[in-house]
Amino acid sequence: MKALLIINGLNISDEEIKSFNRREISGFERISLNSFIFNLSESSNLLADIQNYLQSRGNKYSILYFEKDPTIFTYLK
């Protein structure tokens, strides 16, 4: 199962992600400045850590769950 995290009004930097991911967990990918996709079997703890951080800051976010792998299309200009 995969989860797409979309954060409203906050771009998490690569340095912040590294601080959350001290154990160097794989299974997640940055989709945009404020969106990440997680393979929940590998990185659910990292998603939970980021959720706690966002809740402590008062940032709104959405999580979309996918039972099957979503199709991701990226248009690079």
Residue 73 confidence (pLDDT): 77
Measured between alpha carbons, how far is 22 from 50 in angstroms, rounded to an integer? 13
Average pLDDT over residues 65-74: 84
Residue 60 identity: K
Q: In this predicted model, what pLDDT tens digit does every residue of 2-57 receive, in sequence order? A: 999 999 988 888 888 877 777 777 888 888 889 999 999 988 988 998 999 899 98
Q: Provide the 3-class DSSP secondary structure of residue 70.
A: coil
Protein fold of 1-64: Alpha-Beta Plaits (3.30.70)
Sheet holding 28-32, edge to edge: 28-32, 35-39, 2-7, 61-66
Cβ proximity of 37 and 72 under 8 Å: yes
Residue 47 confidence (pLDDT): 93
Domains of the chain by residue range: 1-64
**Residue reference for tokens 């690569």:** 14
